A and B are shown apart, each in its own frame.
Chain A
């Protein structure tokens, strides 16, 4: 665990049926997790426009999580997660071109039954982003505008 005193801000985009349910039961189950992740609920991970993730980084997020239902069959909307599956690798490549380290963006699958896995992800991802330090994107963007 890196203890550099830095508290990262992380935005999590979660689908309503799987990962949001898992996050909810992690809370109900009193599982220990750091308070660094703010959750934005969407109905399906397929709703997540890659622009939302860029927007979160622009606004000052140090890390972003995207999580939905496990492929193949878990998606509440049959195959919305497949669209996420197609979009996120492209976005990953784009983020690297923008100079955002791969460790700041996580996308994956957590089912409604995997509250423990969610709590683990929150813990490990927060530590990972904490070790990377603050993302100075917002300040850099602001200085370029000046």
Chain B
């Protein structure tokens, strides 16, 4: 991210949303809504003086720490490490913007006068040749499955909260502790929360097994606590992954083969995980101090909007559909629009890097060629047959058909072959039969239908196939 932010040929636009997309490969027109961040991005140095000065001491839950800490109304995203490293004011958390009253200490504190409460949202028009969709994923809300006790105890956390807890820049400076601030003695890690579950998502989220093993390793390493992993299968599919799984086993982690069935909060505040150990064939209850739920990766909540904006389709699970599952895994059915990362399917970091690099390389090869290859399946008008009725004009979804006025002899329709995508809607509608779809002409399709009802009797002779 840092490199992308610094690169002279990359213009990073953050705090933006795409409003409209039109055009086609090589010449897309994109309308971008730049939301106001109330900080002049050119003046802000990212010093953080405004954050210090902000009087909203209580703050709001910090999304970067998955709600384990709080942040103020003005903040530098990702605990001060975001790209670009510039402050932003949260409209909903800022006392002035939300409630209308604040002493605005941030303005006094800023050494470069970057804070500007008069900023308004702006629209930026871009013209681009290719588009990469890299909108990522949403994490599964474990509250949707009541069995896991989500929200009933602060010591039932999800995998990403655990990541923040064990991070040196996290709310506890990397100490793995319970909400009460004590080192846990026993920790349960539950796999497949929201994945491989007919009550949530049918698919496997791929990354959680390895994340769970990493979390088990971190708990063993940092606290020495006993760790119980509740799993259905361990899917250690990547390079070096199986070796890591063996290493974690050797570190003394207990593996319980069986889906965690229920998490209970006991009277003394401790937690109990109920499951069936399918290797022993007995039900088990294990009391622990902390439960980590390895939640599923889900499509972004607004992926339907993004799909319709860019003309993408989505597979049954809601992730964006690639053009071909094996041979075109990062292409879409819209030329010049590519997919990168977890918006297409759940992916771990190496897979995401490979997927995204492939999409970037495809964009570069498209740009360096300087011209685009378009499909020859366009429609053409036979001017002699066209009566100029204009039926086709309103049907074309790409406005590729124009009317050429010929004065007294009315006029004819004309198709711009660069704009025509060859759907053939105009061909089916033309009352005069004046429009031909190349490679899908009426004669070709009718001959195809006729061909279905004839069988080849011997070389060169055909027989009609009449229903018996």
Contact = CB atoms under 8 A, between A and B. Distances in A.
Given A9-B453, A46-B428, A52 B445 contact: yes
Given A56-B449, A139-B466, A18 B313 contact: yes
Interface string A36-54: 0010101110111111100
Interface string B418-449: 00011111011100000001001010011011
B423 A44 contact: yes
A17 interface: yes
B333 interface: yes
Contacts of B422: 43
Given A59-B450, A80-B423, A48 B428 contact: yes
Q: Is the interface of B mostly helix, strand, loop or mixed?
A: loop
A51 to B, nearest CB: 8
B385 interface: no
Contacts of B311: 76, 78
A27 to B, nearest CB: 13
A49 B442 contact: yes
Interface stretch (A94-102, A108-116, A119-127): A108-116
B195 interface: no
Nearest to B427: A47
A59 B440 CA distance: 19
Given A43-B437, A60-B465, A113-B315, A77 B449 contact: no
B425 A40 contact: no
A43 B428 contact: no
A49 B395 CA distance: 14
Which residue among B321, B448, B450 has the maximum number of chain A CB atoms within 10 Å of its CB?
B448
Interface in B307-347: 307-308, 311, 313-316, 321, 325, 333-334
Q: Is the interface of A mostly helix, strand, loop or mixed?
A: loop
Given A9-B467, A111-B313, A40 B445 contact: yes
B397 A79 contact: yes
A60 B316 CA distance: 36
Contacts of B395: 46, 83
Interface residues of B, number: 38
A44 B8 CA distance: 43
B103 interface: no
A95 B105 CA distance: 76
Interface string A58-96: 011110000001000110111110010001000000000
A22 to B, nearest CB: 10
A60 B314 contact: no
Contacts of B450: 55, 59
A46 B453 CA distance: 24
A49 B427 contact: yes
B161 interface: no
A99 B398 CA distance: 38
A55 B377 CA distance: 23
B268 to A, nearest CB: 49
A77 B449 CA distance: 24
Contacts of A69: 313
Contact of B467 (A48, A83, A134): A134
B442 to A, nearest CB: 7
Nearest to B316: A113
Contacts of B308: 73
B313 A114 contact: no
Which residue among A18, A47, A113, A135 has the maximum number of chain B CB atoms within 10 Å of its CB?
A47
A26 interface: no
Interface in B251-308: 304, 307-308
A23 interface: no
Contacts of B425: 44, 46-47, 77, 80, 83
Contacts of A80: 397, 423, 425
Contacts of A135: 467
Contacts of A14: none
B467 A49 contact: no
A113 B313 contact: yes
A62 B440 contact: no
Contact of A83 (B321, B428, B449, B466): B428
Given A113-B314, A113-B321, A59 B424 contact: no
Which residue among B325, B333, B452 has the maximum number of chain A CB atoms within 10 Å of its CB?
B452
Nearest to A70: B313
B397 to A, nearest CB: 4
Contacts of A60: 453, 465-467
Interface in A115-146: 134-136, 138-139
A43 B424 contact: yes
Nearest to A46: B425
B333 A17 contact: yes
Closest 4 CB pairs of A and B: A47-B424, A46-B425, A44-B423, A77-B423
8 contacts: A40-B445, A40-B449, A49-B427, A52-B445, A55-B446, A62-B467, A78-B397, A80-B397
